[in-house]
């Protein structure tokens, strides 16, 4: 729209020259030009569709008196201009499956940490309880109020540890599904932070396990982010679906930020959320302005036919 | 047995010649039109690397017959600066390809086999093969 900022000639006329020359004499030079043009556009961050559009416009302008074999030749040139996109796409598919296996490994690690936190620290705490009780018997009665206080604090620690280990590897997610797991997560974070967190589940069905996990982890990251950075007093998790997508919204009434300037800090978490949904073919959008709260929408495409794939249960 | 062509790569016009020969061999090897395009793409990327990093080098193209199967081998060699860290050079995002999967990582994905030998200060040899689809 704003003209061409670089000195490069515009794509349509380059493509036209290449196509005319290729249709005239099948020249390798024309194919190389088309290839280079596609590569340049890819590097400039443009998609394939403009290229296909250019192709058809240019071809339509040349069609009078063009024989079918020339139309096929034009197809060759188009393929050539798209070859670098093909190369790039193969790289992205590979990166995507790598990302999924990294996520899987991360989950395995989290399971181990959750286990250690729950079982091993739990055992250690039990020993401490026993010792405190012994001390109560051994020491003079004046020590009892202090020891009771220690016991109360230890109980609080135990509750926290149990909660944290469940959040790390929520068996509730496998057993009851996303809605109840989000409830559990929200309660824990609300209790720790003092932020009022509302959970709305309008889906109330089981989703494919990878979807449930991706949404759970994203909600966890999003809520922890907003506790740390948003200075919010209220937040809301909303799960909803239409025939093709399922969407999780994470909203807060906090200080907001400029999504374009989310340079470092919590943007690493946002990046992780985005990559997590992208690896499942989904998208993430952030709406925020300084002073106006934040809404993060994560959307995943439902498998064809709209079936959730894991049967349905009445989540209670 | 093997038909082999050596094409010196010193200028952009040599890239044309290499692509053209590669296409001809792809046709002889019974490649589908799309695979011929991808072979030409791989040749372009390898030639581009030679011009960019070593300034000059050579691309050898060879028609292969193996167990009744036909293929095209591309050997791109130069005596340029070489690659110190090959593993890194094969990662997307290294140097020119900027994470888009072009360059060497792209070539690796387009071809059926891919091998790279390089010594810093001595040069680089990339050998890649694409087989006919059967």
pLDDT in tens, A118-133: 788 888 888 898 899 8
Q: With cut-offs at 50, 70 and 90, classify the pLDDT of residue A65.
A: confident
Nearest alpha carbon to residue A118 among A61, A161, A71? A161
Residue the block writes with tokens 């200080």: A255
Determine the distance in angstroms separating the CA of A80 from the nearest CA of chain B, rounded to an integer: 6
Residues of B in contact with A88 (CB under 8 A): 100-102, 106
Distance CA A92, CA B99 (A): 9
Cα of A93 to nearest chain B Cα, Å: 10
B101/A90 Cβ within 8 A: yes
**Reduced to 3 states, what is the DSSP secondary structure of residue A290?**
coil
A31 Cβ under 8 Å from any chain B Cβ:
yes
Q: ipTM score of the complex?
A: 0.76
Q: Say yes or no: A45 contacts chain B, CB-CB below 8 A.
A: no
Residue A93 lies in a domain: no
Cβ pair A42:B100 closer than 8 A: yes
What is the rounded CA–CA span in Å between residue A303 and residue A308? 7
A29, A35, A76 member nearest B41 (Cβ): A35
Q: Write down the residue that tokens 């930020």 correspond to.
A: A257
Band the pLDDT of B45: cuts 50, 70, 90.
Answer: very high
Is B91:B105 a contact under the CB 8 Å cutoff? yes
CB distance from B105 to chain A under 8 Å? yes
The helix or strand, by DSSP H or E, that contains position A281, with its residue range, turns out to be: none
Name which of A75, A77, A87 to mutate to probe chain B: the one with the most chain B Cβ atoms within 10 A of its Cβ: A87
- CA torsion B49→B50→B51→B57, rounded to 10°? -170
Contacts of A87 in chain B (CB under 8 A): 38, 41, 45, 101-102, 106-107, 109-110
Q: Are residues A252 and A302 in the same domain?
A: yes
Closest-CA distance of chain B to residue A167, Å = 34
Least confident of A78-87, A174-183, A307-316, B89-98: A307-316
Helix, strand, coil percent content, chain B, rounded in steps of 5: 40, 30, 30
- CA-CA distance, A175 to A181, in Å (whole number)? 9
A291 has pLDDT over 50: yes
Question: Is residue A5 included in any domain, yes or no?
Answer: no
Classify residue A92: in a domain, yes or no: no
| Domain boundaries, position A49 | 11-81
CB-CB contact of A51 with A11 (8 Å): yes
**Residue B99's pLDDT is what?**
64
**Same domain? A31 vs A72:** yes
Q: Do A90 and B106 touch (CB under 8 A)?
A: yes
Distance CA B51, CA A132 (A): 76
Look at residue A266 in the predicted model and tell me its pLDDT: 54
| A219 plus A203 within the same structural domain | yes
Taking the Cβ of residue A271 and every Cβ of chain B, the question of whether any pair is shorter than 8 Å is answered with no
Task: Choose between A237 and A263: higher pLDDT.
Answer: A237
How far apart, in Å, are the Cα atoms of A80 and each of A13, A22, A32, A84, B82?
17, 12, 8, 8, 30
A274 shares a domain with A215: yes
Q: Clarify whether residues A62 and A157 are in a common domain.
A: no
Nearest to B90 by CA among B123, B49, B130, B56: B49
Q: Pick from B15, B20, B110: which is nearest to A87 by CB?
A: B110
Average pLDDT over residues A272-298: 89
Coil vs helix vs strand at A160: helix
Q: Please check the confidence at residue A35 and state whether its pLDDT lies above 80.
A: yes
Domain boundary among A148, A169, A190: A169
Name every chain B residue with its beta carbon within 8 A of the beta carbon of A28. Answer: 16, 19-20, 23
Whether A208 and A227 map to the same domain: the answer is yes
| pLDDT band at residue A258 under the 50/70/90 scheme | confident
Residues A225 and A158 in one domain: no
Q: Cβ of A84 under 8 Å from any chain B Cβ? A: yes
pLDDT for the residue numbered A210: 87
Strand-pairing partners, residue B118, are B124
Q: Which chain A residues are Cβ-neighbours of B105 within 8 angstroms?
A: 91
Write the CA distances from A159 to A74, A128, A270, B65, integer angstroms: 69, 15, 29, 70
Domain edge (last residue) among A54, A81, A108: A81
Q: What is the pLDDT of residue A312?
A: 37
CB atoms within 10 A of CB B52: 12
The predicted model gives A290-295 an average pLDDT of 89
- Specify if A87 maps to a domain: no
On whether the CB atoms of residues A80 and A34 are closer than 8 A, the answer is: yes
Lowest mean pLDDT across A110-119, A149-158, A214-223, B13-22: A110-119
Q: What is the pLDDT of residue A313?
A: 33
- Crossing angle of the two packed helices B103-110 and A68-115, in degrees rounded to 10: 100
Q: What is the DSSP string of A244-293?
A: SEEEEEEEE-S----GGG--STTHHHHHHHHHHHHTTT-EEEEEE-TTS-
Q: What is the largest CA-CA distance in chain A?
A: 109
Q: Let me know: does A222 contact A195? Beta carbons within 8 Å.
A: no
Domain edge (last residue) among A81, A113, A137: A81
Q: Do A250 and A157 fall within a single domain?
A: no
Q: B64 falls in which pLDDT band (50, 70, 90)?
A: very high
Question: What's the token pair of residue A8?
Answer: 């490069």
Provide the pairing of β-strand B123-131 with A283-288. Answer: unpaired
A91/B38 Cβ within 8 A = no
SS (H, E, C) A191-204: HHHCCEEEEEECCC
Closest residue to A83, CB basis, from B41, B92, B109? B41
Q: CA nearest A267: which of A258, A280, A277? A: A258
Mean pLDDT to the nearest integer, A72-93: 87
In chain A, the N- to C-terminal Cα span, in Å, equals 55
User: A165 — contact with chain B (CB < 8 Å)?
Assistant: no
> Do the beta carbons of residue B109 and residue A90 sit within 8 Å?
yes
Lowest mean pLDDT among A151-155, A270-274, B18-22, B54-58: A270-274
Give tens-digit pLDDT for A172-226. Answer: 888 889 999 999 999 989 988 899 999 999 998 899 888 999 999 999 999 988 8
Q: Which residue has the tokens 């340029």?
A: B80
The pLDDT-based confidence of A102 (bands split at 50, 70, 90) is: confident
Supply the DSSP symbol for A116: I
- The proportion of chain A whose per-residue pLDDT surpasses 70, expressed as a percent, equals 91
Contact B20 A28 (CB under 8 A): yes
Q: How far is A209 from chain B (nearest CA, A)?
A: 30
Give me the sheet containing B57-66, strands edge to edge: B4-9, B57-66, B69-78, B123-131, B113-119
The answer to whether residue B34 neighbours chain A at the CB level (below 8 Å) is yes
Report the gap between the CA of A127 and the closest CA in chain B (Å). Answer: 51
Of the ranges A5-19, A186-200, A254-268, B21-35, which one carries the lowest mean pLDDT score?
A254-268
CA-based nearest residue in chain A for residue B91: A91
Number of domains in chain A: 3
A211 and A256, same domain (yes or no): yes
The CB density around residue A132, as the number of other CB atoms within 10 Å, is 14
**Residue A243 placed within a domain:** yes
Considering only CA atoms, which of B54, B53, B42 is closest in space to residue B15? Answer: B42
In a domain, A88, yes or no: no
């Amino acid at each position: 729209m704003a003209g061409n900022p670089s000195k490069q000639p515009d794509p349509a006329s380059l493509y036209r020259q290449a196509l005319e020359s290729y249709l005239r004499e099948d020249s390798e030079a024309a194919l190389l030009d088309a290839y280079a043009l596609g590569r340049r556009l890819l590097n400039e961050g443009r998609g394939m569709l403009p290229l296909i559009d250019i192709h058809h416009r240019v071809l339509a302008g040349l069609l009078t008196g063009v024989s079918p074999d020339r139309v096929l030749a034009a197809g060759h040139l188009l393929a050539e201009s798209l070859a670098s996109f093909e190369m790039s796409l193969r790289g992205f598919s590979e990166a995507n499956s790598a990302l999924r296996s990294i996520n899987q490994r991360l989950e395995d690690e989290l399971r181990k940490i959750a286990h250690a936190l729950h079982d091993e620290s739990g055992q250690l705490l039990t020993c401490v309880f026993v010792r405190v009780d012994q001390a109560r018997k051994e020491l003079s009665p004046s020590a009892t109020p202090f020891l009771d206080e220690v016991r109360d604090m230890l109980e609080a620690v135990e509750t926290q540890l149990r909660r944290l280990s469940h959040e790390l590897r929520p068996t509730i997610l496998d057993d009851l599904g996303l809605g109840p797991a989000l409830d559990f997560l929200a309660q824990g974070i609300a209790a720790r932070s003092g932020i009022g967190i509302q959970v709305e589940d309008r889906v109330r069905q089981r989703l494919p396990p990878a979807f449930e996990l991706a949404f759970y982890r994203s909600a966890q990251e999003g809520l922890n982010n907003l506790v740390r950075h948003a200075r919010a007093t209220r937040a809301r998790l909303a799960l909803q679906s239409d025939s093709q997508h399922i969407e999780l919204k994470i909203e807060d009434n906090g200080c907001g930020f400029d999504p374009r300037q989310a340079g470092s800090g919590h943007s690493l978490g946002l990046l992780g959320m985005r990559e997590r949904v992208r690896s499942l073919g989904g998208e993430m959008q952030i709406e925020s302005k300084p002073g106006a709260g934040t809404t993060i929408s994560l959307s995943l495409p439902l498998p064809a036919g709209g079936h959730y794939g894991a049967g349905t249960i009445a989540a209670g | 047995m093997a038909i082999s062509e050596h094409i010196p790569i010193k200028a952009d016009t040599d890239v044309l010649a290499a692509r053209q020969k590669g296409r001809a061999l792809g046709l002889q090897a019974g490649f589908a039109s799309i695979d011929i395009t991808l072979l030409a793409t791989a040749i372009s990327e390898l030639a581009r690397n030679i011009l960019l990093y070593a300034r000059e080098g050579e691309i050898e193209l060879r028609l292969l017959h193996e167990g009744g199967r036909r293929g095209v081998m591309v050997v791109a060699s130069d005596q340029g600066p070489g690659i110190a860290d090959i593993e890194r050079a094969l990662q997307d995002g290294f140097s020119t390809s900027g994470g888009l999967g072009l360059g060497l990582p792209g070539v690796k994905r387009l071809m059926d086999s891919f091998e790279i030998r390089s010594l810093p200060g001595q040069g680089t040899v990339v050998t890649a093969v694409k087989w006919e689809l059967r």
